Structure 1
Amino acid sequence: MSGEEFPMRVIHTLAELRAALADQPRPVFVPTMGNLHAGHLSLVREARRHGGPVVVSIFVNRLQFLPHEDFDQYPRTLERDCALLEPEGCDIVFAPSERELYPQPQSYKVAPPPALADLLEGHFRPGFFTGVCTVVMKLFQCVQPSVAVFGQKDYQQLQVIQGMVEQFAMPIRVVGAPTVRAEDGLALSSRNGYLGAQEREEAIALSTALRELAHGARDVTQSLAELEAAADQALRSRGWAPDYLTLRRRSDLLPPTDAQRVAGEPLVALGAARLGATRLIDNLEC
């Protein structure tokens, strides 16, 4: 099966998906919630590099939305998404209904370790990573991929999924693909579409704040708390409402010591902040 030789198939049921993949090599999988942009398409191109049929799922997962979040308003753009995917060589779009993927209330859930899942995004969105792990585990069982591709923009999510795959001894290689940015440096995100024109111009301030934070990563004349407070204030002074702007170790997302900062411990600057009604996240390795 190849996107160059066969038309892309759009499949809505698990039975049809399994039948389509029955005689194929194990696929390469890109899970998404749809409303695709160039960042998603870069994941599909990365998937093609690994051989085998490419399966992209499109499913807006209720389990990872808090009650006050935008589940009902999240854009469902399947026809447009398929038009974007076909020229990229996607072989199968798996777009199940909620009833198809969750025919019963999902009472069995995958709870990642609190040491990783309850900080940063998990602190501000309680239960988020349980919802993510549960749907990804279920999609992995549906698709049975050899490789799964995720974007590094969701840095903590990538670590959570990698840990889940490792601890459950799943025969899947999880690949992290670099964040795709607009020309002005804004990380591409489906939620960028919620921004008004002035907000879109302002949105680059988040990546700017993270660059400044990363710039000071090795300068221990400023404490970690001072660096983070300065980044936080820089955004607040522009009308943002930050959840966090922080430097963490890449290995476990815990704060580095001053000695680790000086010694060159691999670090990452991570941020999440609201601009008006829109919550944006980004990160920068340093």
Structure 2
Amino acid sequence: MKVFTARDLTQSHILDLKNKGLSIGLVPTMGALHQGHLALVKQAKQHNDIVIVSIFVNPTQFNNSSDLEKYPRTLEDDLKKLQSVNCDLVFTPTTEEMYDANEKAEIFDFDGLDKEMEGKFRDNHFNGVGTIVKKLFNITTPTNAYFGEKDFQQLQIIKKLVEITQQPVNIIGCTIHREADGLAMSSRNTRLSKEHRESAPFIYETLTQAKKLANTSTPSEVEKYVSDKFNNHHNLVLEYFSVANENDLKTATSFSNTQKQRGFIAAFAGEIRLIDNIALYELSN
């Protein structure tokens, strides 16, 4: 497994690989890797000749400087985990390598995808995501790129980014990986206190109940159910729960056989913000 920190060396090495006719799979990450990340790498290994993992904590997508500072950085452990799943190349640049001095996030027109849910609470977040992903695509020129469905809104926005920039990469969404108790795997989970870690599975429990309720209820009734459940929970604070259409992320007014919907949630466990989502649409078939 090769590890690069410089953009030019990474580009040169990848160009040599592509000149040999090899396909490239990219898994972009911010490190603090868990089994969900490794599952993306394994899936990429099945589809591509060479798999690259990028590890970069991207400053332009953080709204809170304290959150950026506290984001877990575990590079040595990350590299061991990637070695164990036969990753071919790791790109771990510094901030200075990726951004010029005083460089800001590029502004994109995501056709409103960035204004829903997360966009209402994290101003300019998706412009930061789009900026770094565009840079990573330009450096690594992947055939395929892999993103987890836990960040489903981000996944849709990355697909829109590729459409906007006309970058020749296929975006592949991968199933959410969960702990045994249902909590969606996240690098932020390591920052949960013991008490909040014990409470956090309530998020997925509530989502699964919402999924069942969608059989016989309207989206607004499902949203009220989730809100009421969290209002009665002493240890978790609901930021939002929204039933939205998958394609445009607009709030759903009804369940339909022709429109796929998901339930999207964000909640605080102490200072740690957790997100999750669940498919609802198959229940209306």
Q: TM-score if structure 1 supplies the norm length?
A: 0.92
How big is the shift at 1:21?
A: 1.5
Choose from 132, 136, 139 the match for 2:136: 139
The answer to whether the aligner puts 1:227 opposite 2:222 as a matched pair is: yes
Give the number of equivalent residue pairs: 275
Are 1:18 and 2:15 matched, yes or no?
Answer: no
**Residue number in structure 2 paired with 1:167:** 164
* Residue 226 of structure 1: how far off its partner (Å): 2.8
SS at match of 1:153: helix
Q: Which residue of 2 aligns with 1:3?
A: none
CA distance in 1, matches of 2:115, 2:73: 29
Q: Are the counterparts in 2 of residues 148 and 175 from structure 1 also a CA contact under 8 Å?
A: yes
Contact 1:248 1:269 in 2 (8 A): yes
Mapped to 2, the partners of 1:211 and 1:147 lie a distance apart of 31
The letter of the residue matching 1:233 is D
TM-score (norm: length of structure 2): 0.92
Cα deviation code 1:112-131 (max 9, x no counterpart): 42511011001111111000
Question: 1:68: how far off?
Answer: 4.8
Query: Are 2:126 and 1:129 equivalent residues in the alignment?
Result: yes
Cα deviation for residue 164 of structure 1 reads 1.0
Alignment-derived partner of residue 254 in structure 1 = 250
Q: Residue by residue, what CA displacement relative to the aligned partner does 1:232-286 show, whole Å, maximum 9, x if unpaired?
A: 121231132211112111121112233xx15363211110010111110001112
1:32 is matched by which residue type in structure 2?
T
Distance in 1 of aligned mates of 2:42 and 2:267: 30
State which of 276, 281, 284 in structure 1 corresponds to 2:275: 281
Pairwise CA RMSD: 1.5
Alignment of 1:140-159 (within 5 A): 140-159=137-156
Report the secondary structure of 2:147's partner residue: strand
* Distance of 1:219 and 1:276 partners within structure 2: 33
| Aligned partners of 1:112 and 1:129 also within 8 Å | no
Are the structure 2 counterparts of residues 236 and 69 from structure 1 closer, same or farther at C-alpha, using a change threshold of 3 Å? farther
Distance 1:108 1:84, change over 3 A: closer
Partner of 1:86: 83
Shift of 1:75: 1.3
Which structure's residues are more often helix, by fraction? 2
Which whole-Å CA distance do the structure 2 matches of 1:112 and 1:33 have between them? 24
Judged with a 3 Å threshold, the aligned counterparts in structure 2 of structure 1 residues 102 and 179 are, in CA distance, closer, same or farther, namely same
Deviates more, 1:228-237 or 1:168-177: 228-237
1:272 paired residue number: 266
User: Which AA in structure 2 matches 1:257?
Assistant: T
| Matched residue type, 2:5 | H
Assess if the C-alpha contact under 8 Å between 1:272 and 1:280 holds in 2. yes
Q: Distance in 2 between matches of 1:49 and 1:110?
A: 35
Unmatched tracts of structure 1, length 5 or more? 1-7
1:150, 1:175 within 8 Å by CA — same for their partners in 2? Answer: yes
Distance 1:52 1:106, change over 3 A: farther
Encode CA deviations 1:184-237: one digit per residue, 9 max, x unaligned: 1111000011111221111001111111222222324xx432321220121231
The residue type equivalent to 1:161 in the other structure is I
Contact residue 113 and residue 249 of structure 2 kept, 8 A: yes
AA aligned to 1:270 is F
Equivalent position SS for 2:68:
coil
Q: Unpaired segments of 5 or more residues in structure 2? A: 281-285
Superposed, 1:53-72 pairs within 5 Å as 53-72=50-69
Post-superposition shift, 1:29? 0.3
